[in-house]
């Protein structure tokens, strides 16, 4: 899919040193964690930055490549149990994401990617060690959570309601070191009450796949975190606004 309107480095190409004005977005392990249109988040962030005149570099890093440690935003997608466990192992061994997070990079993780940021999660019936970047752990829920997900976002983040689609078998329990991203109004999220988690510039959600397509304000929050620019010029969000309105109405009826 190299024909989306960006210059994407091929897998594994080293991040060019210098050029601090380029916003560098890393998609972590698309070979393992890309089940539900996860590429969308990278494309949306890249486009919204470009529309504000920021040069963007999109970097896809495969799981057999070292993770660059100096990028601005790291995206971690959803995946099946096996690839999720493998991704966690490789990220722990690699250590790059820990270094990047410690240096203040933004990390946005969805679904399986969100779970593996915690201390532990379950994959294929076994408890697996997570990255311990967020104070949370996940276990198996009584049923699979599949369907629309909506919630009122933590007011400190200043965002409109979250809307998305979830599809996961896990439940996530937050520790005191993180805040829930949202209070659930539709769907399951972490535990039918809270949804997602955030701390500093690390944010995870069960709103899976191209979560930012329905939540452009969340995309802009990540861009503000990454660039330090607090007043991003507004964009024409006619179509995502219509999509949000249509989804909100649909979940209200259901």
Partner 1 sequence: MTGGGRVIEGIADGVAGQSTVARRSRRIAARRQSGNLARVTDAKMPLRAKVASSVSRTAAALSRAAGRGDGSVIGGWIGLKIDPELLAHLAAGRSIGLVSGTNGKTTTTRLTTAAVGVLGPVATNSFGANMPTGHTSALAKAGATPYAVLEVDEHYLPQVLEATEPRVVALLNLSRDQLDRAKEVAMMAQLWRAALAKHPDVHVVANADDPMVVWASVDHTAVTWFSAGQRWHDDSWVCPECGAPIERADEQWWCTGCPLRRPEAQWVVEDDGVVDPTGAWHKVVLQLPGRVNLGNAATALAVAAQFGVRPTDAVSRLGGVASVAGRYAQVVREGRNIRLLLAKNPASWLEAFDMADEAPTLLSINARDPDGMDTSWLFDVDFSPLRGRQVLITGDRAYDLAVRLEVNDVPFEHVRTFAAAVAAVPVGRLEVIANYTAFQDIRAELDRVN
Catalog residues that contact partner 1 under the rule CB under 8 A.
1, 3-5, 31-32, 34-40, 43-44, 47, 62-64, 80, 82-83, 86, 146-147, 165, 167, 208-210, 213-214, 239-240, 242-243, 246
Measured from the CB of residue 103, what is the shortest distance to partner 1 in angstroms?
A: 28
Closer Cβ to partner 1, 45 or 136, answer by number: 45
Measured CA to CA, the distance from residue 39 to residue 1 in angstroms comes to 9
Which residue's structure tokens are 């935003």?
73
Closer Cβ to partner 1, 192 or 246, answer by number: 246
Measured from the CB of residue 12, what is the shortest distance to partner 1 in angstroms?
A: 11
CA dist 45 → 6, 65, 190 (Å) = 11, 23, 25
| Contact yes or no for 38/6 (Cβ under 8 A) | no
Measured from the CB of residue 155, what is the shortest distance to partner 1 in angstroms?
A: 26
Which residue's structure tokens are 């076994």?
126
Closer Cβ to partner 1, 1 or 17, answer by number: 1
Measured from the CB of residue 209, what is the shortest distance to partner 1 in angstroms?
A: 3
Measured from the CB of residue 30, what is the shortest distance to partner 1 in angstroms?
A: 8
Burial class (CB in 10 A: 0-12, 13-18, 19+), 189: buried
Closer Cβ to partner 1, 40 or 141, answer by number: 40
CA dist 143 → 155, 169, 192 (Å) = 30, 6, 12
Q: Interior CA angle at 101 toward 175 and 47, to 5°?
A: 110
Closer Cβ to partner 1, 150 or 178, answer by number: 150
């Amino acid at each position: 899919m190299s024909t989306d309107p960006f210059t994407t480095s091929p897998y594994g190409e080293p991040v060019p040193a210098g050029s601090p004005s380029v916003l560098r977005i890393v998609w972590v392990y698309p070979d393992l964690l890309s089940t539900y249109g996860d590429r969308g988040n990278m494309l949306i962030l890249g486009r919204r930055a470009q529309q504000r005149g920021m040069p963007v570099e999109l970097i896809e890093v495969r799981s057999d490549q070292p993770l660059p440690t100096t990028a601005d935003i790291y995206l971690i997608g959803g995946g099946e149990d096996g690839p999720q466990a493998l991704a966690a192992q490789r990220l722990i061994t690699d250590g790059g994401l820990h270094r990047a997070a410690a240096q203040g990079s933004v990390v946005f993780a969805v679904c399986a990617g969100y779970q593996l940021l915690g201390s532990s999660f379950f994959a294929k019936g076994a408890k697996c060690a997570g990255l311990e970047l967020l104070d949370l752990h996940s276990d198996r829920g009584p049923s699979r959570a599949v369907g629309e997900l909506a919630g009122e976002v933590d007011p400190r983040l200043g965002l409109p309601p979250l809307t998305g689609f979830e599809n996961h078998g896990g439940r996530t329990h937050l520790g005191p070191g993180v805040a829930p991203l949202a209070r659930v109004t539709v769907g399951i999220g972490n535990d039918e009450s809270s949804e997602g988690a955030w701390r500093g510039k690390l944010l995870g959600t069960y709103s899976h796949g191209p979560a930012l397509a329905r939540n452009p304000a969340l995309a802009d929050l990540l861009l503000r975190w990454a660039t330090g620019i607090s007043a991003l010029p507004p964009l024409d969000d006619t179509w995502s606004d219509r999509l949000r309105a249509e989804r909100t109405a649909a979940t209200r009826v259901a």
